[in-house]
């Protein structure tokens, strides 16, 4: 292992190389100094040219950092990731058809790293079937020039599967906290673990170069071997950046890395408004010891509701980056967590999700059609990507989608528990046709999955005949206040219920007592039998 500067690391990149980049979202374990150095070199020299960026999660501050450092015509040829929204420079190039761009499911790319490390022909999975990732639809492509590569439909044992093929790798830019003189790397201050080991192994297997950015160096033999996440045998170069931040928004918070737990009352509550109303109603689907995922957007607020209502210890909240238990973080640092029981590597978290480990998934929606299909990925030139949405939505036992009924200057208030729509949103979110399908309602029905849509004024479910209105806020009229602002007429349940009035008042709802009155649900019949025998 050699210690070099970030600018020297940038000189390792050759024309046509594919850079495998670690990290998640808003700077979590992102090798920012290395990406900035590649941009400096290109602006100064005009090289390298025609490179491919590969990142499991979209990375950036939604401005100039992260993958946007690579968003220059001539420098970038292709972007392979799960989401582009964090890197507006990549969105612009893809929308203008100046680069090839793919947005694959986050779990697929994460797990694919292990298959690449082992030299297998690819990842075989059902994740993505009947979505825009399926090659019979768009094959995950987000620009016209993008070829239909990397994914195909295969039949095995009488069933359809998707085969995701290995993506190109020449250089890996990874990140840790501490490296010793032999290149062994630990991650004690990182907010996520990602898939550092698999990335390093996959790169080494094809004869690529592994560069790790760290905050500090340690003497040989002084790191605890059990804490090493990237063994020195896989590391070619180390770049030390003493100013390395934990995330783009946070210099360092020990609760993000599990070094301490914060008082629950220090978790900032959501202000009362549409988002809180939506998440409160969604939280009513919780049951004791439920294993849940909180997706991006409005649904991340469920962790703050759980803290406020005193039920964080009654359920297991997780996120796809590997946090289990505690409170997944909302806002600019979403992807991390606080007070978690465990932090595991991202591929293993997706193994658990894909295997049906989630009781409940709380996700956001952007557009929904009459069948209950969902689009969160693309709206004209606005390219978001899917992140872990497809893995989570497709495989959870119950999925609760949250969002406002309309968007764009929507102004809603509540007076004495009554919903007052002061100004309707300009854009309908329940539409006749979707540009891309990220959740297939038909596949959900086939798997007997429960799917709900919670808005600030109504609740829908996916039934046998498509979307069905099942609840409405107190004082509202279904036709005037809900259906009139949809692009289609849903089925209306014969017994439409009034949404729980507690949702629409600022005070606590009392979810803790509700939750604790419910019986525990056991997944394993053997465990249920044991509890029945020992707790009569």
Closest among 259, 237, 236 to 246, alpha carbons compared: 259
Alpha carbons 106 and 103: distance in angstroms, whole number: 8
Alpha carbons 328 and 337: distance in angstroms, whole number: 4
Q: Compute how many other C-beta atoms are within 10 angstroms of the C-beta atom of residue 200.
A: 27
Q: CB under 8 Å to 164, separation ≥6 — which residues?
A: 104, 108, 112, 122, 123, 125, 150, 151
Closest among 280, 82, 79 to 195, alpha carbons compared: 82
Catalytic one among 100, 285, 320, 367?
A: 320
Q: Phi and psi for 310 in degrees, rounded to 5? A: 75, 35
Find tokens 């070829």 and name the residue: 147
The answer to whether the CB of 204 falls within 8 A of the CB of 196 is no
Whether 424 is catalytic is no
Return the half-sphere exposure (C-beta side, CA atoms, 13 A cut-off) of residue 299.
27
Q: Could you tell me if residue 433 is left (phi over 0), alpha (psi between -120 and 50 degrees) or otherwise beta? A: beta
Q: Which DSSP string corresponds to 1-65?
A: -EEE-HHHHHTT--TT-EEEE--BBTTBT--HHHHHHHHHHHHHH--S-SEEEEESS-BS-SSSS
**Omega before 513 cis (within 30°)?**
no
Question: Residue 308: in which H helix or E strand, if any?
Answer: helix 302-308
Beta bridge partners of 49: none
Closest among 7, 9, 31, 13 to 21, alpha carbons compared: 31
Find tokens 């993958």 and name the residue: 67
Residue numbers annotated as active site: 320
């Amino acid at each position: 292992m050699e210690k070099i500067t970030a600018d020297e690391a940038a000189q390792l990149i050759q024309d046509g190389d594919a850079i495998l980049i670690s990290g998640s979202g808003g700077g979590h374990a992102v090798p920012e100094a290395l990406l900035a150095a590649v941009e400096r070199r290109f602006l100064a020299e005009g090289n390298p040219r025609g490179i491919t960026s590969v990142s499991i999660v979209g990375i950036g501050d939604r401005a100039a950092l992260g993958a946007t450092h690579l968003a220059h015509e001539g420098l970038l040829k292709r972007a392979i990731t799960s989401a582009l929204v964090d890197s507006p420079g990549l969105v612009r190039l893809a929308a203008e058809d100046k680069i090839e761009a793919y947005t694959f499911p986050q779990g697929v790319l994460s797990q694919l790293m292990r298959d690449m490390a082992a030299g297998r022909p690819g990842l075989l999975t059902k994740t993505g079937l009947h979505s825009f990732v399926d090659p019979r639809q768009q094959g995950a492509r987000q620009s016209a020039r993008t070829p239909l590569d990397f994914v195909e439909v295969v039949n095995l044992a009488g069933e359809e599967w998707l085969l995701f093929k290995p993506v190109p790798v020449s250089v890996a830019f990874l990140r840790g906290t501490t490296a010793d003189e032999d290149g062994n790397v630990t991650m004690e201050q990182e907010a996520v673990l990602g898939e550092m080991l698999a990335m390093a192994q996959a790169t080494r297997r094809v004869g690529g170069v592994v560069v790790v950015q760290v905050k500090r160096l340690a003497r040989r033999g002084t790191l605890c071997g059990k804490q090493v996440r990237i063994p020195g045998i896989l590391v070619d170069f180390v770049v030390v950046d003493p100013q390395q931040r934990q995330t783009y928004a946070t210099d360092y918070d020990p609760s993000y890395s599990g070094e301490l737990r914060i008082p629950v009352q220090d978790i900032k509550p959501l202000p009362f408004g549409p988002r809180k109303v939506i998440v409160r109603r969604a939280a009513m689907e919780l049951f004791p010891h439920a294993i849940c995922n909180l997706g991006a957007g409005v649904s991340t607020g469920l962790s703050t509701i759980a803290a406020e209502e005193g039920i964080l210890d009654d359920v297991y909240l997780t996120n796809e980056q590997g946090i289990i238990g505690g409170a997944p973080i909302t806002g600019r640092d979403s992807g991390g967590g606080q007070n978690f029981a465990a932090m595991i590597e991202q591929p293993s978290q997706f193994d658990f999700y894909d295997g049906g480990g989630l009781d409940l998934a709380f996700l956001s929606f952007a557009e929904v059609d009459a069948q209950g299909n969902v689009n969160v990925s693309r709206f004209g030139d606005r390219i978001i990507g899917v992140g872990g949405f497809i893995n989570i939505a497709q495989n959870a036992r119950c999925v609760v989608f949250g969002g406002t009924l309309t968007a764009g200057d929507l102004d809603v208030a509540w007076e004495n528990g009554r919903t007052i729509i002061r100004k309707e949103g300009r854009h309908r979110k329940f539409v006749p046709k979707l540009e891309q399908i990220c959740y297939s309602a038909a596949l959900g029905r086939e798997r007997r999955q429960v799917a709900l849509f919670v808005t600030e004024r109504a609740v829908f479910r996916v039934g046998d005949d498509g979307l069905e209105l099942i609840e409405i806020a107190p004082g509202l009229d279904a036709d005037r206040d809900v259906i009139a602002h949809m692009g289609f007429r849903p089925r209306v349940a014969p017994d439409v219920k009034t949404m729980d009035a507690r949702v629409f008042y600022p005070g606590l709802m009392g979810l803790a007592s509700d939750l604790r009155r419910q019986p525990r649900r056991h997944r394993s019949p053997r465990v249920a039998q044991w509890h029945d025998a020992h707790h009569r």
